Structure 1
């Protein structure tokens, strides 16, 4: 994993940088939100029976950039770009005008490598719903498929989805590295105001369970 700022710093960047406009809220009613954590973000089965995918993880994959993300249960099928840190030290985000584009943060491992890979995307833009609009409706056990530049597909199983506060973001837990391949998918969520935007983030936690 490339050396970079502490996750606690990146958390602020991801939270603010992925803040969105939510135009047309009356028409779309706002994105779906998990009422409470679905599963157990810590990965412990003690707090959420069956939250952690059962069985040993498959062998990790070598490094290869992600090219596409598919989440069939919420109709996500989108290309994946790359974002890094801008000149101001903040993490970049996908162009807001493109409502069907996700991005991999290149300071994290690539999906399928040991460790925690991070993908971000917008929940909406001026035209309405964007790529991760439905992320809050994701249930544990659902599949997230990442097609990589090497032709392999890393398949992850969701074990938790939650809304976390921007004001008190649990960066060390969300971004903690793992000995096994993990994935985090983030977008904006929680309460919304025209003045401040979204006050939280929806975070999906997933673990590699197969590879193609």
Structure 2
């Protein structure tokens, strides 16, 4: 899948628009996805060292695989995701690959397309054993974005990832939690898992104008059914 990433653009003099949360302006891109994703590589906002592009998230974070000696539960072989369907919040979005830049930062999906999600392509694909990482914007300068209503997902809700091999991977939500940026549970979100799981990630909380970042991240935890 060809990457459609764009260089990060820092929000400047953006006129507030009506967004998914009352009183919260819309910005060019969700800085929080970058800061959150950096914990994949052992840092909190700063890269901790050279990134190994062949490493999975748990290895890059220095976490020992929890399932190395155990058989995985229900799972599918590796295949690129092509589309994310979340009926409850009317999401029907294509995927783009998310890559790491020279500074060790995971780049967010382009802000030019409000209906686009990205997956960390050097990690596991949705349906493989492990925790697949899927990120999307909550808003842009144009309008609410693909994950504007992600906070509405609850335990038991289902969503589907369509895959390049023609198989559909259906996941059920286990929980949806919001974490402060300075107290993010790296191991809980990124640690290797025996079963096929997914983390849906976006920004949450208030927008801190001095830090030019959202104060929190929303993570939806789900497993393959």
For the superposition of Structure 1 and Structure 2, which TM-score range results when normalised by the shorter chain? 0.7 to 0.9
- Equivalents in 1 of 2:21, 2:204: separation in Å? 14
Give the number of the structure whose residues are more often strand, by fraction.
Answer: 1
Structure 1 alignment gaps of length 5 or more: 1-16, 32-56
Aligned to 1:83: 98
Superposed CA RMSD: 2.5
Is the 8 Å Cα contact of residues 22 and 124 (structure 1) preserved in structure 2?
no
Equivalent pairs, count: 168
TM-score by length of 1: 0.73
1:103 aligned to 2:104? no
- CA change 1:137–1:95 in 2 (3 A) is same
Aligned to 1:171: 186
Of the three residues 127, 133, 138, the one matched with 1:123 is 138
- CA change 1:22–1:132 in 2 (3 A) is farther
Is the 8 Å Cα contact of residues 122 and 133 (structure 1) preserved in structure 2?
yes
TM-score by length of 2: 0.69
Of the three residues 152, 155, 160, the one matched with 2:175 is 160
Instruction: Spell out structure 1 runs of 4+ moving beyond 3 A.
Output: 19-23, 25-28
1:145 aligned to 2:145? no
- Equivalents in 1 of 2:192, 2:219: separation in Å? 15
- CA change 1:75–1:187 in 2 (3 A) is same
Deviation at residue 26 of structure 1 after TM alignment: 6.6
Aligned to 1:194: 209
Of the three residues 148, 151, 161, the one matched with 1:136 is 151
- Equivalents in 1 of 2:223, 2:86: separation in Å? 14
1:10-49 counterparts in 2 under 5 A? 23-25=16-18, 29=22, 30=24
Q: Report the secondary structure of 1:98's partner residue.
A: coil
- CA change 1:22–1:104 in 2 (3 A) is farther
Note the alpha carbon deviations across 1:151-194, whole angstroms, 9 max, x for none: 10100000100111111111111111111000000000012233
Q: Report the secondary structure of 1:203's partner residue.
A: strand
Deviation at residue 107 of structure 1 after TM alignment: 2.3
Is the 8 Å Cα contact of residues 58 and 208 (structure 1) preserved in structure 2?
no
Is the 8 Å Cα contact of residues 22 and 128 (structure 1) preserved in structure 2?
no
Q: Report the secondary structure of 2:182's partner residue.
A: coil
Is the 8 Å Cα contact of residues 19 and 139 (structure 2) preserved in structure 1?
no
